[in-house]
C-alpha cells in the first residue's frame, strides 16, 4: 500500500513538473522564443497610442532577425499623441529599406493610427473599417468659474506670457488660442505632407479630405487613402509573397506579451487578455479621433 502511495505521488510530481515545463516553454516562446524558419512578423498597434517604446523595441528586434522576411502592421487604433505616432512611422520607414511592410486596418485605423499605416508599402482595410480623421486636436478644461464659485484663489508665478497656456485654473485668452492654433497648424501640415508623400497624392487632393472626417474602408479606397479591401490574412499572404516565402508563412507576433501561467492557460481557451489604460488629461497635441 505504501509503495502504491509513493508511485501515485511520483506520478503526480511528474505530471506537475510537465505542466510547469509547458508553462515555462510557452512564456519563453512569448518572448523571443522558438520561432524558426522564414516568417512574417505581425506588429499589432492597438488602442490609444501614448507610448512608442514597445513598438520601437519590437521593430528593432524585427530588423535584426534575419528569419523575419516581411512585416504586417495590424492597426486597430483611433490614434494618439503626435510624437509617438510620428516616431513609429519613421522607424517603419527605415525598416522598409530591408523588408517589405504591409499595413492592414482593423475596426479602426484612424488619425495617428492611419498616420502609422502610411509608412507601409500597401494598406489593406475591411469595407466597414473606420479610417481617416486626418487632423490634430488639443482639448483643455477650465475650472475658473468653479473656483470662483468655491471662492478659491490660485496664485501662479511664471516667466512668460504663455508659460501656463492650457492651465485649468484660468480661461484661455485670444492670444493663447492663436498660439495653440499655430502649433496645431504646424503638426497638421506634417500629417498632410506624410500622406502626400507616402500615398503619392497631390497636396490639393489631401487638403480636400484632411478635414477631420472619418471614412469607411470602401470610401477610403475610392479616395486613395488605402490600396485594397482585404483582411489580415490577405495582408499576410501578400507580405509573404513579396518576401519570397513559399506557401503559407509562419507568423511571429509583436510586441511580445509577457503572461503568467494562468494567463497562458486561459488564452488557450480563447480568453481575451485585456490591457486597459485611461487617457490622461495632460497637455499635448493628438492625432486622435474625437467621437
Q: What is the pLDDT of residues 223-245, one digit of tens each?
A: 999 999 999 999 999 999 999 99
Integer Cα distance of 288 and 210 in angstroms: 13
Active-site residue, from 52, 85, 111, 167 = 111
Integer Cα distance of 124 and 104 in angstroms: 4
Distances (CA, A) of 92 to 86, 129, 133: 10, 22, 21
Mean pLDDT on 20-30: 47
**In this predicted structure, what is the pLDDT of residue 220?**
97
**DSSP string of 183-243?**
HHHHHHHHHHHHHHHHTT--HHHHHHH-SS-EEEHHHHHHTTS-SEE--HHHHHHHHHHHH
- Which pTM does this prediction carry? 0.79
**Catalytic residue list contains 178:** no
**In this predicted structure, what is the pLDDT of residue 247?**
85
Least confident of 38-42, 70-74, 284-288: 284-288
The pLDDT tens digits of the residues spanning 102-127 come to 999 999 999 999 999 999 999 999 99
Q: With CA atoms as reference, report the closest residue to 255 among 31, 99, 23.
A: 31
Which top CATH class is 35-288?
alpha beta
Burial track 27-59 (b if 16+ CB lie within 10 A, e otherwise): beebeeeeeeebbbbbbbbebbbbebeebbebb
Q: Are 111 and 202 spatial neighbours (Cβ–Cβ below 8 Å)?
A: no
Whose cell is 483582411? That residue is: 231
Cell numbers placing 178: 492663436
**In this predicted structure, what is the pLDDT of residue 18?**
54
**Cα torsion 266, 267, 272, 278: sign:** positive
**In this predicted structure, what is the pLDDT of residue 188?**
96
Cell numbers placing 77: 487604433
Domain map (residue ranges) of the chain: 35-288
Whose cell is 504646424? That residue is: 186
Q: Are 109 and 185 spatial neighbours (Cβ–Cβ below 8 Å)?
A: no
The pLDDT tens digits of the residues spanning 164-195 come to 998 999 999 999 999 999 999 999 999 999 99
The pLDDT tens digits of the residues spanning 240-290 come to 999 999 888 999 999 977 655 555 444 444 433 333 333 444 456 777 776
Q: Are 216 and 115 spatial neighbours (Cβ–Cβ below 8 Å)?
A: no
Active-site residue, from 163, 178, 208, 213 = 163
Integer Cα distance of 85 and 129 in angstroms: 20
**In this predicted structure, what is the pLDDT of residue 87?**
97
**Catalytic residue list contains 163:** yes
Amino acid at each position: 500500500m505504501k509503495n502504491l502511495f509513493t508511485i501515485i505521488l511520483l506520478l503526480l510530481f511528474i505530471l506537475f513538473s510537465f505542466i510547469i515545463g509547458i508553462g515555462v516553454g510557452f512564456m519563453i516562446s512569448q518572448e523571443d522564443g522558438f520561432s524558426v524558419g522564414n516568417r512574417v512578423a505581425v506588429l499589432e498597434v492597438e488602442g490609444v497610442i501614448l507610448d512608442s517604446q514597445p513598438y520601437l523595441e519590437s521593430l528593432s528586434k524585427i530588423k535584426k532577425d534575419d528569419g523575419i522576411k516581411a512585416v504586417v502592421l495590424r492597426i486597430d487604433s483611433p490614434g494618439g499623441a503626435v510624437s509617438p505616432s510620428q516616431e513609429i512611422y519613421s522607424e517603419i520607414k527605415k525598416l522598409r529599406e530591408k523588408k517589405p511592410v504591409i499595413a492592414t486596418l482593423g475596426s479602426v485605423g484612424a488619425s495617428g493610427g492611419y498616420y502609422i499605416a502610411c509608412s507601409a508599402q500597401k494598406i489593406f482595410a475591411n469595407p466597414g473599417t473606420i479610417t481617416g480623421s486626418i487632423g490634430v486636436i488639443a482639448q483643455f478644461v477650465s475650472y475658473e468659474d468653479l473656483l470662483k464659485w468655491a471662492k478659491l484663489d490660485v496664485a501662479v508665478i511664471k516667466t512668460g506670457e504663455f508659460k501656463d497656456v492650457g492651465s485649468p485654473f484660468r480661461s484661455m485668452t485670444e492670444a493663447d488660442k492663436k498660439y495653440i492654433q499655430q502649433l496645431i497648424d504646424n503638426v497638421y501640415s506634417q500629417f498632410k505632407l506624410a500622406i502626400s508623400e507616402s500615398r503619392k497624392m497631390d497636396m490639393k487632393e489631401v487638403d480636400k479630405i484632411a478635414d477631420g472626417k472619418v471614412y469607411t474602408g470602401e470610401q477610403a479606397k475610392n479616395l486613395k487613402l488605402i490600396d485594397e479591401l482585404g483582411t489580415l490574412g490577405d495582408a499576410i499572404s501578400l507580405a509573404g509573397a513579396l518576401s519570397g516565402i513559399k506557401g503559407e508563412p509562419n507568423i511571429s507576433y509583436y510586441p511580445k506579451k509577457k503572461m503568467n501561467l494562468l494567463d497562458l492557460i486561459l488564452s488557450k481557451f480563447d480568453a481575451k487578455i485585456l490591457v486597459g489604460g485611461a487617457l490622461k488629461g495632460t497637455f499635448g497635441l493628438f492625432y486622435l479621433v474625437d467621437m
